A and B are shown apart, each in its own frame.
Chain A
């Protein structure tokens, strides 16, 4: 069940528009879910549920968005994600841009890593792995 990238982009934009109640004209691949589109923590769950329904896939906990990494004292110190934390994030969510984030890994800026494009990349990879 491989899907054309345009279809994936369209599907992701529709999901984000529904979950965050924003006009899809505001949504671009580089849009940060938190900074640009106003997502809150419950919205990430909403997005996952809607992606699962739209693309008929199962997204395991923590595979698209981090769940418990930021509440682990080993991974966060003084408002910054530790190198161990970045490694854990990189392993858990390889589709995100950790290179840029790791230059100044403030917890407060973590939301900027989660962009529309990152979800599209994640889904493209995930759907490509599903055999027709």
Chain B
């Protein structure tokens, strides 16, 4: 059984579909968008939940656990951007991004760790971003939140590895989703030229990696930030 936050659209919806295709029962959350692309059907269930609110998260996970009694995989995907140059970012821009991208991950992770410890195993997969490592102009708040997610991933992985709970992050580059739409619209071909493989990622390509990390084959991988960016970070390091 898998939980996916922000599973209604973009990468989250692709993850929901991919895990469901693998045969998992999937519960996903949505907030402002409605159930969207990953509309509930069969073994897929979508529920509204504001990941920024600890009580909402605990209530949601509690309800799922009443029905399922275990949670094998958590994918912390819910995330937002509030881009702007550093001096133009308001406190609200910082707080919104921090609350969703980091604290949402913290609340969900806390809520599933107890059942995972008791069942002696689980997978936690956090969606990060290459800007969490590289930084990005106009993305100080977003980059800081993803850098924090990376650090959380490594620290938690070390804490819970002995309980057979594996914690990793997937760090995409430019993905063909609505969230990156503004950047793609503004700089489209120019950005593509900087990507060695010559194209944006599709959400499904990110979901493949998430599904691998959730699989039995990934049982020896923990505390890793898996970059899936078509090579863009190689050029950024030059």
State the A residues within 8 Å of B (CB): 40-43, 45-46, 49-50, 53
B117: Cβ under 8 A from any A Cβ:
yes
B174-193 near A? 1/0 per residue, CB < 8 Å = 00000000000000000000
* Complex interface: stretch among B34-42, B78-86, B141-149, B155-163: B155-163
B118: Cβ under 8 A from any A Cβ:
yes
Asked if B118 and A50 sit within 8 Å, CB to CB, the answer is yes
Chain A contact residues, majority secondary structure: helix
- Select B118's contact among A40, A41, A43, A49, beta carbons within 8 Å: A49
- 17 A-B residue contacts at CB 8 Å? A40-B162, A41-B159, A42-B117, A42-B159, A42-B160, A42-B162, A42-B163, A43-B162, A45-B117, A46-B117, A46-B118, A46-B163, A49-B114, A49-B117, A49-B118, A50-B118, A53-B118
Q: Across chains A and B, which 10 residue pairs bring their CB atoms closest together, nearest first?
A: A46-B117, A49-B114, A49-B118, A42-B159, A49-B117, A42-B160, A42-B163, A42-B162, A40-B162, A46-B163
A-side contacts of B117, CB under 8 Å: 42, 45-46, 49
Instruction: With both chains docked as a complex, state the minimum distance between the C-beta of A18 and any C-beta of chain B, in angstroms.
Output: 8
A-side contacts of B163, CB under 8 Å: 42, 46
B-side contacts of A49, CB under 8 Å: 114, 117-118
A42, A43, A49 pick with most chain B CB within 10 angstroms: A42
Can you add 12 more A-B contacts, CB < 8 Å, to A49-B114, A49-B118? A40-B162, A42-B159, A42-B160, A42-B162, A42-B163, A45-B117, A46-B117, A46-B118, A46-B163, A49-B117, A50-B118, A53-B118
A-side contacts of B159, CB under 8 Å: 41-42
B197-221 near A? 1/0 per residue, CB < 8 Å = 0000000000000000000000000
A-side contacts of B160, CB under 8 Å: 42
Q: How far is the CA of A50 from the CA of B118 in the complex (A)?
A: 7
B-side contacts of A40, CB under 8 Å: 162
B-side contacts of A41, CB under 8 Å: 159
Instruction: With both chains docked as a complex, state the minimum distance between the C-beta of A105 and any C-beta of chain B, in angstroms.
Output: 26
B-side contacts of A50, CB under 8 Å: 118
Which residue of chain B has the shortest Cβ distance to A20 in the bound complex?
Answer: B162
Instruction: With both chains docked as a complex, state the minimum distance between the C-beta of A74 and any C-beta of chain B, in angstroms.
Output: 26
B-side contacts of A45, CB under 8 Å: 117
Q: How far is the CA of A88 from the CA of B160 in the complex (A)?
A: 28
